[in-house]
A = this chain, B = another copy of it.
Amino acid sequence: MSQFPTDTPGKGGSPKSKGDFARFGIVTVSDRASRGEYEDEGGPALLEFFHEAIESEWEAVYRVVPDEMDAIEAALIELVDEHDCSVIVTTGGTGPATRDITPEATESVCERILPGFGEQMRAISLKFVPTAILSRQLAGTRGKSLIINLPGRPKSIRETIDEIFKAVPYCVDLLDGPYIECKAQVVDAFRPKNARR
């Protein structure tokens, strides 16, 4: 497991925002990246997304783990139970190959599955590439945390997260988490009127 290098700070947002401070978890699942044979691209793409999209104050915690059930579960549990991350995004390991085990590890640590995320992410990616049908990505909740599996490639990550993140701040509200504000020009997050500050 590794952290972001110190010259890539995992922090952002404005203290002038009406929102609360929130912590995000980023988990790159990759045998090669975890052995240092390959530079992780998914994790930095997710960090860049948070920098561009989140208006309220935030901090990211980043982990790189191999495609192993135990390692993925341990990283997710740590980010939820010890770091109180409100949203955890994973990248990699959602295909049909034998080593791909991210959805199983995610389902195993979640109390509830939110099937709409997997459905909508696949529907979005199918507009770009027919092999999106093969993705087993899912999302679920553990305690007050929402865990979402994202694709491995930076391009596919942004095609999906820019769209589905519109519902994430309200989901975190419903889980009794912090009030997250987005920059509307990047993510036009939706909350019912009575849930807006």
**Chain B residue, CB-CB nearest to A132:** B116
Query: Which secondary structure characterizes the binding site on chain A?
Result: helix
**Chain B residue, CB-CB nearest to A187:** B130
Q: Which of A134-179 contact B (CB under 8 A)?
A: 134-136, 141, 146, 163-164, 166-167, 170-171, 174-176
Q: Which of A85-137 contact B (CB under 8 A)?
A: 95-98, 112-120, 122-123, 126, 129-136
Q: Is the CB of A116 within 8 A of B95?
A: no
Q: Is the CB of A135 within 8 A of B118?
A: no
A49 at the interface (CB under 8 A from B): no
Q: Is the CB of B164 within 8 A of A133?
A: yes
CB distance from A130 to the nearest CB of B (A): 4
Q: Do A97 and B174 form a contact, CB below 8 Å, given A114-B136, A119-B122, A136-B115?
A: yes
Residues of B within 8 A of A95 (CB): 174
CB distance from A50 to the nearest CB of B (A): 18
A21 at the interface (CB under 8 A from B): no
* Alpha-carbon gap, A175 to B69, bound state (A): 19
Q: Is the CB of B136 within 8 A of A167?
A: no
A4 at the interface (CB under 8 A from B): no
Q: Do A114 and B141 form a contact, CB below 8 Å, given A96-B174, A171-B96, A175-B97?
A: no
Q: Is the CB of A116 within 8 A of B97?
A: no
CB distance from A42 to the nearest CB of B (A): 15
CB distance from A134 to the nearest CB of B (A): 5
* Alpha-carbon gap, A127 to B190, bound state (A): 13
Q: Is the CB of B112 within 8 A of A96?
A: yes
* Alpha-carbon gap, A132 to B115, bound state (A): 11
Q: Is the CB of B167 within 8 A of A130?
A: yes
* Alpha-carbon gap, A134 to B125, bound state (A): 19
* Alpha-carbon gap, A129 to B120, bound state (A): 13
Listed from nearest, the 6 A-B pairs whose CB atoms lie closest are A130-B166, A116-B133, A97-B174, A131-B167, A133-B167, A116-B122
